[in-house]
Homo-oligomer: A and B are copies of this chain.
Amino acid sequence: MQKILERVLKKITPSEKEQKEFNSVVTEIRNLTDEIIKPLGLSHIIAGSFSRNTWLPYKKEFDLFIMFPETTSRQELEKKGLQIGKKIVSKLNGKYEIAYAEHPYIRSEVKGFQLDIVPCYKVKSAEQIKSAVDRTPFHNKYLDNNLGVLAPDVRLMKKFCKSIGVYGSDLKTEGFSGYLCEILIINYGSFEKLVKEASRWEPGKIFIDLERNGYRKFENPLVVIDPVDRKRNVASALSPYNFIKFVEACKAFVKKPEESMFFPKPKKISKIKIEKELKSRGTKFFIIEFEKPNVVDDIIYPQLRKAAKRLADILKDNEFMVLGYDIHADKKCYIFLEMEVWKLPNKRKLTGPSIFDVKHAKQFLEKYKKDRIFIEDKYWTAEVDRKFILAEMKIKDSLSNKLKDLKSKGIPSYIAKSVSKGFKIHKTLKTLPKGSEEFIYNYLNKRLL
């Protein structure tokens, strides 16, 4: 395994030239920043993998945190944070936009790097933070003190996670954050030890607590107590699916270490093949497309997932059984539904109250007086015309509601707003924009063992 890891490491470590280039850009920005903020009595830190030399070559990005005293009002912090950010970017002739997390910040492109300039509070301990970004300086400090010579192992871990699709704690990926990779490496001492241990992990049984003072009450598959905040599980975003995916990948790698596990070949995805496979399953599918709301992925993905689940549930309530569903967002948003039953008879049967329940029976008989009514066992039964014979009609009907009604049906706000402005239903992949079919390929090929 050692040799393989060494070969991998060579490929994923930035070249000296890249390193130098990065260093010089960072130094320039740090100097410029100090020039601007020292007169204001403020300090800054550089955060992210660059500062610890654990970055992957493709990742030309880093964060600049401007630290304000706790006494600053939130309003002032936001205002000044943006002012400072804009000033820095303009002096470097970069481009910027205002992005929104817990507070607004500057997302910019300067000298070929993506630079986020984020205002935060300088607090006494990570347990007293005012917003999530305030924690970063403490993470930085902890890693500076503890990572030591382990940077190459972190790089291996990050690349390993990336290659199996579980790198990132954002709500789209629901995987391993960079910080989680770093803490795990510190805990196990090397990538090799980590994969060997992780190949035996069982969900809910792993509790990692470097500082031995963490809370135990977490219901996640993996619990890694934040060394700077004992109430926080660093792995809380990790989904059960990605936990198992990682464990299975570790098992495979331990059993047969191969360089290719770090460099997966790009998938050959063909619309025709996907469509053929779907057909061979004997199911029918619908892909609902609508405009992507102008909010961050961390809002879009959970809302899309919830919307898809609600839609599947609404269909099931109408006896249109759903085998599976999935979601995707690129330039547009997509909900994919694979149907087990998509056509139903004109008639359906409703079982009403017992004949002995005279009060409710009267209501039932009044309600269905125009329908065929009889008794089965001891229950009043009505045979009524089915409103929606095709699943597609039910989907159209459900999504064609007004914004208010979409929300009351459980479609989350941003999705509801977008859908209320219009949507279309694809019944073949041919009409789908090129590239958007990948998530359906993944849906059909997800497999753990």
Q: Which residues of A contact B (CB under 8 A)?
A: 202-205, 221, 240-241, 243-244, 280-283, 319, 321, 323-324, 340-341, 344-349, 355-356, 358, 365, 369, 372-378, 389, 446-449
Contacting A344 at CB < 8 Å: which of B202, B341, B346, B358? Answer: B341
Chain copies in the assembled complex: 2
The distance in angstroms between the C-alpha atoms of A277 and B347, with both chains bound, is 12
Choice from B202, B204, B340, B345 contacting A340 with Cβ under 8 Å = B345
Interface of A is mostly: loop
Q: How far is the CB of A237 from chain B (nearest CB, A)?
A: 14
Q: How far is the CB of A363 from chain B (nearest CB, A)?
A: 14
Q: Are A346 and B377 touching (Cβ within 8 A)? A: no
Does B323 contact A347, Cβ atoms closer than 8 Å? yes
Residues A282 and B448 in contact, CB atoms below 8 Å apart: no
Asked whether A446 lies within 8 Å of B374 as measured between CB atoms, the reply is yes
A345 engages B378 (CB within 8 Å): no
Separation of A205 and B345 alpha carbons in the complex (Å)? 38
A389 to chain B, nearest CB (A): 7
- Asked if A202 contacts B358 (CB within 8 A), the reply is yes
Chain B min CB distance to A242 (Å)? 9
Determine the residue in chain B with the shortest Cβ distance to A345.
B282
Cβ–Cβ contact A324 & B340, under 8 A: no
Across the two chains, which residue of chain B brings its CB closest to A344? B340
- In the complex, which of the residues B341, B374, B375 contacts A341, with contact meaning CB atoms closer than 8 Å? B341
Q: Are B203 and A345 in contact (CB under 8 A)?
A: no
Closest to A343 in B: B282
Return chain B residues, CB-CB under 8 Å to A446.
372, 374
For the complex of A and B, the 4 pairs showing the least CB-CB separation, nearest first, are A282-B345, A241-B375, A240-B378, A203-B355
Q: Are B355 and A221 in contact (CB under 8 A)?
A: yes
A376 to B230, CA, bound (A): 30
Cβ–Cβ < 8 Å partners of A377 in chain B = 240
Measured in the bound complex, the distance between the Cα atoms of B382 and A323 in whole Å is 12
Which one of A282, A344, A349, A374 has the highest number of Cβ atoms from chain B below 10 Å of its Cβ?
Answer: A374
Query: A448's contact among B344, B374, B447, by CB below 8 Å, is which?
Result: B374
Contact A347 B281 (CB under 8 A): yes
CA distance A378 to B240 in the complex (A): 6
Residue pairs across A and B with Cβ atoms less than 8 A apart, 20 shown, are: A203-B358, A205-B358, A221-B356, A241-B375, A243-B355, A244-B375, A282-B347, A283-B345, A319-B321, A323-B348, A324-B349, A340-B344, A341-B344, A369-B449, A372-B446, A372-B447, A373-B449, A374-B447, A374-B448, A375-B448
**A345-B283, A347-B281 known; A374 and B241 CB under 8 Å?**
yes
List, in ascending order, chain B residues with CB within 8 A of A345's CB.
281-283, 323, 340
Which residues of chain B are near A373, meaning CB under 8 Å?
Answer: 447-449
- Say whether, besides A346-B281, A346-B282, A448-B374, A356 and B203 are in contact (CB < 8 Å): yes
A374 to B443 Cα, complex, angstroms: 10
Residues of B within 8 A of A346 (CB): 280-282
Nearest chain B residue, comparing its CB with the CB of A368 = B449
Contacts of A341 in B (CB 8 A): 341, 344
Pair B281/A240 contact, Cβ less than 8 Å = no
**Most B-side CB within 10 Å, residue of A283, A344, A345:** A345
* Cα-based distance from A378 to B372 in the complex (angstroms): 44
| In the bound complex, CA of A374 to CA of B241 (Å) | 7
On chain B, the residues within 8 Å of A240 by CB distance are 355, 375, 377-378
Least CB distance, A356 to chain B, in whole angstroms: 4
Measured CA separation A375–B324 after assembly (Å)? 12
Would you call B447 and A356 a contact (CB within 8 A)? Answer: no
Contact B283 A347 (CB under 8 A): yes
Cross-chain contact of A389 among B244, B282, B378 (Cβ < 8 A) = B282
- Once the chains are docked, how many angstroms separate the CA of A208 from the CA of B282? 59
Given contacts A447-B374, A449-B373, contact A323 B340 (CB under 8 A): no
Task: Name A204's closest neighbour in chain B (CB-CB).
Answer: B356
> A448 — which chain B residues lie within 8 A by C-beta?
373-375
CA A369 – CA B447 in complex, angstroms?
11
Provide the bound-state CA to CA distance between A300 and B439, in Å.
Answer: 56
Closest Cβ–Cβ distance, residue A153 to chain B (whole Å)? 27
- Write out the residue numbers on chain B whose beta carbons fall within 8 Å of the beta carbon of A202: 358
Q: State how many angstroms separate the Cβ of A296 from the closest Cβ of chain B.
A: 24
